[in-house]
Amino acid sequence: MESLLYFVLGLLSLTSLYFFLRCRTMAGAVRRTNRALKEISGELEANRVLKLPAPDREMEELLVTINEALRKIREQHLEYAKREQEFQRQIENISHDLRTPLTSMIGYLDIMDKTALDPEDREALEVVKRKARFLQQLVGQFYELSRFSGEDYTPRVEHVDIARLLRETIVDYYPELTARNLLVDINIMEGPVNVRADKDGLERVFQNLLQNVCRYAGRELSVRLDREGGRAVISFTNDAEGMSEETAGRLFERFYTADSSRNQGSTGLGLTIAKCLTEKMGGTLTAAKEGKYLKFILTL
């Protein structure tokens, strides 16, 4: 009887040890599978599949289901990317086809003999010209957005003195800034500040940010350039009391314009293009509302 008791206790101990080791093995397998799934989720294009580190029928069935779901997600991802590229090409082609006749139309409007028109007709002509130029701007930005956001677009990266380029761009825009009666405070560190960037693309980013300032700013504009951790950090800060935090968070969305900018010829694409170009050059561009101020931070 005593021998049977020892046998049962030994069997229970072995069974407990088996299930303990089994649970430890499966827990480790689940952890490794979870890490692999996170890696695969971040690199869908790699076409990897999940594999079970330890044999288990139920887990194998689960992984088969997950791998099938991953396959479908990859197919949808590739199809979306294909449609997006095709859409960008179509927009680029349409924009290109529209630019030439629009330019001709505006040219003919400019050379019309205004002296032969009465005041009411001259006023109507100016309205037509203003609308035509806005349409020309919109078509041009459509073209730029489709080109810059395409996967085949590669910036011509070189060493650029970002401090000098920023000063020159501000000087170019200074008449427009002063026409808005803005109090401009410029704080750009002395000497060259070299970064790796596309010079023309970076200048376009500055231009689009300054255009945004001219639409939203009340009375103040501050431009600052610093070095932080080996990177150049530029901030554009202007007062924008009528702008909400929600609006500030949506400024980079395509076609989004704040209500106050709709009557000022805003297409809602300028900031989208600026962000796209910045990211193509390996930088970041963010916007946030800080009290009554709207602040853009460009890091390269």
CA distance from start to end of the chain: 82
Determine how many CB atoms are found less than 10 A away from the CB of residue 232. 21
User: Dihedral, CA atoms, 177, 179, 182, 187, nearest 10 degrees?
Assistant: 30
Instruction: State mean pLDDT over 46-71.
Output: 69
For 158-299, CATH number? 3.30.565.10
Q: How far apart (Å, rounded) are the C-alpha atoms in residues 33 and 54? A: 10
What pLDDT is attached to residue 262?
43
Backbone angles phi, psi at 196, to 5 degrees: -95, 110
| 14-55 pLDDT per residue, tens | 666 655 556 666 666 667 766 766 666 666 666 666 665 656
Instruction: List the one residue out of 275, 107, 129, 110 whose CA is nearest residue 204.
Output: 275
Q: How far apart (Å, rounded) are the C-alpha atoms in residues 275 and 94? A: 23
Question: Coil, strand or helix: which one is 254?
Answer: coil
Range ranked top by mean pLDDT from 117-121, 159-163, 218-222 = 159-163
Q: Percent of the chain scored above 70 by pLDDT?
A: 73
**N residues, the chain:** 300
Instruction: State mean pLDDT over 62-68.
Output: 74
Distance of CA 55 to the CA centre of its chain: 44
Q: How far apart (Å, rounded) are the C-alpha atoms in residues 61 and 148? A: 44
Going from N- to C-terminal start, the domains of the chain cover: 2-79, 91-148, 158-299
What pLDDT is attached to residue 67?
75
Backbone angles phi, psi at 294, to 5 degrees: -105, 125
Quick check: 275 pLDDT over 80?
yes
Long-range contacts, stretch 227-230, CB < 8 angstroms, 24+ apart? 227/189, 227/193, 228/299
